[in-house]
Structure 1
Amino acid sequence: MKIKFLTLFMLILAGCNTSTKEAPKNETEMEKTTSHLRHVVLFQFKDTSTPKDVAAVEAAFGELPSKISEIKGFEWGLNNSPENLNKGLTHCFFLTFDSEKDRDTYLTHPAHVAFGDVAGPHIQDVVVVDYWMK
């Protein structure tokens, strides 16, 4: 009985150790090969900005992906959280990049700089958070 149990145990143990694929060496390596960089921009508009002003900023931001090829994904929306914790931030813009280099190119791109000229006069507050997807 002991021999049967030991044989079964050894077979199970051997079966658990058949993987030949090497795991990524560290988290940074994994991020660079399988992840995307997210760039989150949250706006609070000035009380003096009209709905037309806000719509112009929304449209200008929405045009950036067609002007900056490094932007791999783009979406945006309005806050609708019932928690009332948005601290006046109403708009969320969510961009995706393949690398920090692509994000840095976006930040200094003439189209992004021009967008800042459109948005700047209407922005009361802005929060920007960048992170690597996990």
Structure 2
Amino acid sequence: MVLFSTSFMAKNEQVRHVVVFKFKPSATPAQITQVTQALADLKNKIPGIVSFEHGVNNSPENKNLGFTHVFLLTFKDAAARDTYLPHPEHKKFGQLLGQLGVMEDVFVVDYSPAAK
């Protein structure tokens, strides 16, 4: 397997931003819906987001370590992702998570799709 540093990636390649949440057991379905909608709304508030998908883990392998909700944002390119991270609307989303107090843990992975 060949791994590439982001410094070797073309500047116009799309970037996938995978965010996986582990909600606290006390999180209500309404709170989870509120978080999901707030994250989805960022597509219309922050330029460069090409698409947004989300779903709930349904793998029978039981390897998710309690992480249940997956969010996939596709950015036009790395520059768009880099604009998103400090964007005030993204920061507001983080503040919402803090106010709700429903997050137990989160992990994030970014990548550019490899050529086929």
Q: In the alignment, what sits opposite 1:14?
A: none
More strand by share: 2
- TM-score, length basis structure 1: 0.73
Alpha-carbon spacing, 1:108–1:79, altered in 2? closer, same or farther (3 Å): same
Which residue in the other structure is 2:46 paired with?
68
Native 8 Å contact 2:14 2:78 kept in 1: no
Q: CA RMSD in A?
A: 2.1
Q: Which has the larger radius of gyration?
A: 1
2:110 maps to 1:130: yes
> What is the correspondence of 1:90-129 to structure 2 with a 5 Å cutoff?
90-120=68-98, 121-129=101-109
Q: List alignment gaps of at least 5 residues for structure 2.
A: none
Pick which of 41-50 and 29-38 moved more.
29-38
- Where does 1:9-88 land on structure 2 (aligned, <5 Å)? 31-32=9-10, 35-88=13-66
Q: Quick one: distance in 1 between partners of 2:16 and 2:47?
A: 15
Q: In percent, how many aligned pairs have the same letter?
A: 46
User: Number of paired residues?
Assistant: 109
Q: Give the unaligned 5+ runs of structure 1.
A: 1-25
Quickly say closer, same or farther: Cα 1:74–1:27, change in 2 above 3 A: same
Change (3 A) 1:28 1:93: closer
Higher normalized contact order (CA 8 Å, seq sep 6+, divided by chain length): 2
Q: Which runs of 4+ in 1 moved over 3 A?
A: 26-31
Identify if the C-alpha distance between structure 1 residues 93 and 28 changes in structure 2 by more than 3 Å, giving closer, same or farther: closer
Q: 1:127 to 1:34 in 2, by over 3 A?
A: same
Question: CA, structure 1 residues 106+33, in 2 after alignment: closer, same or farther (shift >3 Å)?
Answer: closer
- Partners of 1:31 and 1:133 within 8 A in 2: no
TM-score of the two chains, using structure 2 as the length reference: 0.84
Please tell me whether the aligned partners of residues 11 and 78 of structure 2 are also in contact (alpha carbons under 8 angstroms).
Answer: no
Task: Give how far 1:98 is off.
Answer: 2.3
